[in-house]
Structure 1
Amino acid sequence: MSSGVSRRSVLQAAGIGTALGATGFSLTGCSSSGSSGQNKIGSEGKELAPFPAYVPWTKGPAADLPGTEEGVQAAYLKYPAEPADALAEKPGDGSKVTIWISSWNSSPLPRGRNKFWQAAEKALGVELDVTVVPAMEYSKKLAALMASGEMPDIMQLVATPNEAQFVPAKCQDLSEFIAGDAVKKYPYLANIPTYAWKSSGRYAGKIYGIPVERPLAGHGHIVNKAKFKEAGLLVPEIGGIGVDEFTQGLEQLSQKGKAALGAQKDGGFGFNAWMPAFGTPNVWSVKDGAFVNYIETDEFLAGLEQMVKWQGKRVYRRDALAIDGLQEKTEFLGQKVFSKVNSPIDFKGNVIEAKGRFEIDYALPFKPSNGATPVHWLGGGIYGSGQTVLKKAPKARIEMLLRVLDALGAPFGTKEWELFNYGVEGTHFTRGKDGGPVPAELAVSGGDGPNILPLYYLSAAPSPLYYPDQPTAVKAQHAWQSQVVPIGVKSAHLGLRTDAWASAEEALNRLREDAIKDVVTGRKKLSDWPSIVKNHMNKGGKQAAEQLAKEYAAAQKA
């Protein structure tokens, strides 16, 4: 790379490079003087409960474009003509069930005025006492909930610094209920692919939670198709355009107050699309048994250097760090910016909200300047990095709550999937040309509907690749996944539970995010990266790597 800043110089400047020349890998992943301490939530040395058996639901509609075992979603170009009944009887027992979930949308209407809330209660056979927490306040609210000593019956749990103490103390061990073949009692939980259970992981060898499945494909470069085609940036294969040519096209689009690359205050200027193009491994990789974080690698620095160049050429949205995700989406849909980096779920949302004003597609990874082979960062196949946990309770109560979660996981092609994802016909959605549900205004901004009361964050069927009345966009998503999933790499830490990573992850992710923003905007230089890596290691990165390496070794023996 032209800057001359390499992983070797970074580690040497950080004071940890002495052994690098001899071993070829960072000491981050090597144990030292027992500093890692006991890993209470890890599985090392413990008997491991088997992950739930995978029994795919086979009564649904046939896909128009097939999925793959590697993670390409099965695609549907039209809606099933006759959705099936998923439930022979109501799963609940009429009792009150308290629920705690987060949401990225506005607060829901009160239960008495909320048609979706009422319809969900009727279908599930329980009274739902739901607390909806704004996603940006999640960590603070969760800490307060944990400190209170109270817990709802069902709770959405995202990785938290206190999970080592909280989960075993307050949550139900579900191993006897769903491990191995036991899950077959709950057919829609058994329909959750094994990759989701593995990414959700175990605590001390036991299964405590239900994963919420999401597409494996991960984040990609979502673009305004016409604009990117006009600039010569849409090519049919990965590496079909060099990064310099790609940059020239971005400059061509970034004129007269427009920007080729959208960005906002969170998301690190879309780094999770650019770094893998330079061959950067996903978050944690393993080399000779040691865990290496991606910020330590040459490839990450090469990608960061390119992002600095783009900022200098003004191809990012100006003052990007002054706006939030909602404004970024508004500017993309308003064609003020011509691309953004986000997930397949966001791709779908933008396609629906664009309402045919312009076509949305993906740009494939370019050929990088560092000579590396591009990769693609896969997601974990679950929402966030968490799971749904239950409050400790008698066996009959746990079985009833699992039946409720099983019902919420009703698959695509059933009336219950339609209810829990789109609400009530005529109230929350109308029928489109292909018979599929099209959200009504009440479900978009009226404070009512599944997006406002997101029960699908507790349990969900494997995500179908279907957009109402948008077969062209479905084909585009499937085509992109078919290209990037085969070169996809996962992070080695997925599903591994360690006290050190749980306690440090949130702070280290913020440190990395802030450091990227500082370097890209010029507040810091690329040559400052050694101190950033050193800070990362001192604030828990080294200890996390040590414990993750041990957990990884234990998992390989399972």
Structure 2
Amino acid sequence: MNLIDNAVSRRRLLGYLGIGAGALGLAACGGSGGSAAGSGSGGVLTGAELTAEVEASLPNSALEFLVEPDFPSVNGSTPGYVTMPDPLVKGVDAVPGAGGDYTVMSPAWWTSPPNLGDNAYYDAVNEQLGATLEFHVADGNTYADKVQTVLASPKNVPDWMVIPSWNIPPRFIEGVGNVFQDLTEHLAGDAIHDYPNLARLDPAAWAYSMFNGRIYGLPYPSELITNAVFYRKDLFEQLGVEPPTDADSFLSVLTEIIDEGANRWGCENLWNTAQMMYAIPSTFAERDGKLVHPFEMEEYKEAIVWLTKVIESGAMHPDAVAGNDGPAKDRFESGQTLVMNDGVGGWHEALTRVRPTNPDFDQMAMDLFAPDGGAPTLYRGAPVNIFSFLKKNDDAEQVRELLRIADWCASQFGTEEFDLLTYGVEGTHFERDEHGVPQMNDQGRREVTSTYQFLAQPGIVNAKVQFPEYVEASTQWMARQSEHVVDPLFYGIQIQEPSEFGSLSQPFDDLVVDISRGRKDIGALDEAVEHWRSSGGDKLRDFYAEFMS
């Protein structure tokens, strides 16, 4: 399979190889750790070298499903399954481990599971792995601080470390090779055939796992659309309220919901919703041949104005107005608020939490719309949202053992391995109902969490077969939205902004709060944008322009 074709521009190749970003301040971290960016004259590769490096670095990909989905993918949307295959098949022929003992650091946005020795799930999986992985699970809400603390002292880096893309620390791209294992020679070209489940992953996921032109990350592939606006369909129907279809009706619906006597409010903080509705990109976009930052866009101002109206109407929960967003899901799930924005993964997590005590709970994603009610513009999610990294290791056999374990974890839906990772042990963590669908018990809900899955993951599918109506609703929702999805300008490019720009956006986060809460006038935004340009914004624009050449 030729991974370099007319659809891949030289601009994107530069991004894959870290040119521009990888060349900044390497001396501070003692070098790039095997950067391909240094192999050409002045650190810039020729066109032939670019092609050779990318073709050598990206694994081959089969992109195939072992089991055909009940709801196929549409334009890249997530496929879905509502039934369990019978029988399950083996995803890996041999025991992957060789008796190694390894430490793993991983985040959790839920109650941390019991530790090794007190967790039957860990015991069962480790037995199948033929190795012992000891997880050190940290609070996902403060995980960025934990990552930076650990990386500041390399001797404390675990054997395997999970880092979500949003927790990648400043200057990571410069020193990644000093801490983590370069996997390129193990995975590039024909070498990937030793890991058939990893070979099935989309090439875009592998491209995004490259830093300085080398493969360092193991990918947890992302979805076409990563965020949604959720509403309580069950309570909307009780109240006789229809979902909104434009910005004005959205505001009307939120106001109609309010009943302070019943402790019911319209929504949580909808700033992310406003940005989706007004099609605000995450970084620069190209307009009339120029790079324009979201802060400079008229739509950004309009999104703030809409959010301000929501708050002025009294629809937003007072705690959300005060910035207390931590309990937002609790408020939404208990019916104190009826609309919130969240990642699409939060949909089934809410069902798992709430359905045992409230079987009527029905969380639904809104079909999105532009402010005037027209078709929305939605930006494709990054190919990978979570990476795992292996600690730098001179023992090549240990690296291969860990990659075999990663390959085992990347077994697809329909395999015994996927079943064990997702549900645990039958009779201990779950029982099958009359349709063969696993139903988790209390021990399963306590012990079976996303730990091993964060190490490596097959291509994303929706296989929450215990919630068939959710699988249908979510896959059909994403399929409908898929026709409105566009690639952001720098899609698939692993760009890490230099640390000098790290605090540029913070004043705008604060300013959005101040304007929407009535403490400042919208005119303050224009002044802030001018200050942003002169204090580094224009330099940041020049930095991104390097990836346009």
TM-score by length of 2: 0.83
Read off the aligned partner of 1:545 and give its amino acid letter. Answer: R
Give the match for residue 153 of structure 1: 159
- 1:468-521 Cα offsets, whole Å, 9 max, x none, are 33222222112211121221234334443445346645x456544333323222
Give the match for residue 516 of structure 1: 512
Matched residue SS, 1:491: coil
Cα distance change of structure 1 residues 173 and 306 upon mapping to structure 2, 3 Å threshold: same
> In the aligned structure 1, how far is the partner of 2:222 from the partner of 2:416?
20
Give the match for residue 292 of structure 1: 292
In the alignment, is the contact (CA less than 8 A) between 2:429 and 2:440 conserved in 1?
A: yes
> In the aligned structure 2, how far is the partner of 1:35 from the partner of 1:45?
12
In the alignment, is the contact (CA less than 8 A) between 1:233 and 1:246 conserved in 2?
A: no
Give the match for residue 397 of structure 1: 398
In the alignment, is the contact (CA less than 8 A) between 2:263 and 2:336 conserved in 1?
A: yes
**Post-superposition shift, 1:185?**
1.9
**Post-superposition shift, 1:344?**
1.7
> In the aligned structure 1, how far is the partner of 2:443 from the partner of 2:390?
30
In the alignment, is the contact (CA less than 8 A) between 2:76 and 2:224 conserved in 1?
A: yes
2:364 is equivalent to residue 378 of structure 1? no
**Post-superposition shift, 1:322?**
5.1
Matched residue SS, 2:285: strand
**Post-superposition shift, 1:404?**
1.0
**Post-superposition shift, 1:326?**
5.7
> In the aligned structure 2, how far is the partner of 1:132 from the partner of 1:281?
32
- 1:102-144 Cα offsets, whole Å, 9 max, x none, are 2222333231111112112111111223222222332222222
Give the match for residue 95 of structure 2: 90
Matched residue SS, 1:49: helix
Read off the aligned partner of 1:381 and give its amino acid letter. Answer: P
**Post-superposition shift, 1:412?**
0.9
- 1:321-360 Cα offsets, whole Å, 9 max, x none, are 5576662222222112112111221011123333232322
2:158 is equivalent to residue 188 of structure 1? no
Matched residue SS, 1:212: strand
**Post-superposition shift, 1:252?**
0.9
Read off the aligned partner of 2:204 and give its amino acid letter. Answer: Y
RMSD: 2.9
**Of the candidates 451, 457, 460, which is equivalent to residue 460 of structure 1?**
457
TM-score by length of 1: 0.81
Give the match for residue 116 of structure 1: 121
Cα distance change of structure 1 residues 387 and 379 upon mapping to structure 2, 3 Å threshold: farther
Give the match for residue 315 of structure 1: 315
Read off the aligned partner of 2:182 and give its amino acid letter. Answer: D
**Post-superposition shift, 1:465?**
1.4
**Of the candidates 52, 59, 66, which is equivalent to residue 66 of structure 2?**
59
Cα distance change of structure 1 residues 290 and 176 upon mapping to structure 2, 3 Å threshold: farther
In the alignment, is the contact (CA less than 8 A) between 2:232 and 2:363 conserved in 1?
A: yes
In the alignment, is the contact (CA less than 8 A) between 1:270 and 1:340 conserved in 2?
A: yes
Read off the aligned partner of 2:360 and give its amino acid letter. Answer: R
Give the match for residue 19 of structure 1: none
> In the aligned structure 2, how far is the partner of 1:427 from the partner of 1:35?
49
Deviates more, 1:492-501 or 1:390-399: 492-501
Give the match for residue 38 of structure 1: 24
> In the aligned structure 2, how far is the partner of 1:249 from the partner of 1:224?
12
Give the match for residue 11 of structure 1: none
In the alignment, is the contact (CA less than 8 A) between 2:413 and 2:463 conserved in 1?
A: no
Give the match for residue 351 of structure 2: 351
Read off the aligned partner of 1:461 and give its amino acid letter. Answer: P
**Post-superposition shift, 1:86?**
1.4
Give the match for residue 140 of structure 2: 135
**Of the candidates 77, 100, 111, which is equivalent to residue 106 of structure 1?**
111
Matched residue SS, 1:383: strand
- 1:354-373 Cα offsets, whole Å, 9 max, x none, are 3232322222224415x975
Matched residue SS, 1:97: strand
Read off the aligned partner of 1:133 and give its amino acid letter. Answer: A
**Post-superposition shift, 1:232?**
4.6
Cα distance change of structure 1 residues 243 and 231 upon mapping to structure 2, 3 Å threshold: farther
- What are the residue-to-residue correspondences of 1:520-539 with 2, within 5 Å? 520-534=516-530, 536-537=532-533
> In the aligned structure 2, how far is the partner of 1:260 from the partner of 1:481?
27
> In the aligned structure 2, how far is the partner of 1:391 from the partner of 1:476?
43
Cα distance change of structure 1 residues 465 and 402 upon mapping to structure 2, 3 Å threshold: same
In the alignment, is the contact (CA less than 8 A) between 1:498 and 1:547 conserved in 2?
A: no
Deviates more, 1:421-430 or 1:535-544: 535-544
Read off the aligned partner of 1:319 and give its amino acid letter. Answer: D
Cα distance change of structure 1 residues 470 and 73 upon mapping to structure 2, 3 Å threshold: same
**Post-superposition shift, 1:201?**
4.3
Cα distance change of structure 1 residues 430 and 537 upon mapping to structure 2, 3 Å threshold: farther
> In the aligned structure 1, how far is the partner of 2:336 from the partner of 2:480?
28
Give the match for residue 255 of structure 1: 259
> In the aligned structure 2, how far is the partner of 1:233 from the partner of 1:431?
37
> In the aligned structure 1, how far is the partner of 2:434 from the partner of 2:337?
30
Matched residue SS, 2:136: strand
Give the match for residue 280 of structure 1: 280
Matched residue SS, 2:327: helix
In the alignment, is the contact (CA less than 8 A) between 1:39 and 1:498 conserved in 2?
A: no
Give the match for residue 11 of structure 2: none
In the alignment, is the contact (CA less than 8 A) between 2:222 and 2:385 conserved in 1?
A: yes
Deviates more, 1:124-133 or 1:433-442: 433-442
**Post-superposition shift, 1:204?**
1.9
Matched residue SS, 1:222: strand
**Of the candidates 203, 225, 231, which is equivalent to residue 223 of structure 1?**
231
In the alignment, is the contact (CA less than 8 A) between 2:278 and 2:303 conserved in 1?
A: yes
> In the aligned structure 2, how far is the partner of 1:460 from the partner of 1:260?
38
Gaps of 5+ in 2: 1-19, 27-31, 38-42
Read off the aligned partner of 2:248 and give its amino acid letter. Answer: D
In the alignment, is the contact (CA less than 8 A) between 1:281 and 1:294 conserved in 2?
A: yes
> In the aligned structure 1, how far is the partner of 2:302 from the partner of 2:530?
19
In the alignment, is the contact (CA less than 8 A) between 1:279 and 1:375 conserved in 2?
A: yes
- What are the residue-to-residue correspondences of 1:487-506 with 2, within 5 Å? 487-498=484-495, 500-501=497-498, 504=501
Read off the aligned partner of 1:249 and give its amino acid letter. Answer: V
**Post-superposition shift, 1:167?**
0.3
> In the aligned structure 2, how far is the partner of 1:93 from the partner of 1:537?
55
**Post-superposition shift, 1:255?**
2.1
Higher relative contact order (CA 8 A, sep 6+): 1
Matched residue SS, 1:401: helix
In the alignment, is the contact (CA less than 8 A) between 1:420 and 1:456 conserved in 2?
A: yes
Matched residue SS, 1:112: coil
2:449 is equivalent to residue 450 of structure 1? yes
**Post-superposition shift, 1:313?**
0.5
- What are the residue-to-residue correspondences of 1:14-25 with 2, within 5 Å? none
**Post-superposition shift, 1:221?**
0.9
**Of the candidates 365, 368, 392, which is equivalent to residue 368 of structure 2?**
365
Give the match for residue 250 of structure 2: 246
Give the match for residue 17 of structure 2: none
**Post-superposition shift, 1:544?**
3.6
Matched residue SS, 1:516: helix
2:209 is equivalent to residue 210 of structure 1? no
2:542 is equivalent to residue 546 of structure 1? yes
> In the aligned structure 2, how far is the partner of 1:372 from the partner of 1:512?
28
In the alignment, is the contact (CA less than 8 A) between 1:428 and 1:443 conserved in 2?
A: yes
Gaps of 5+ in 1: 1-33, 236-240, 264-268, 554-558
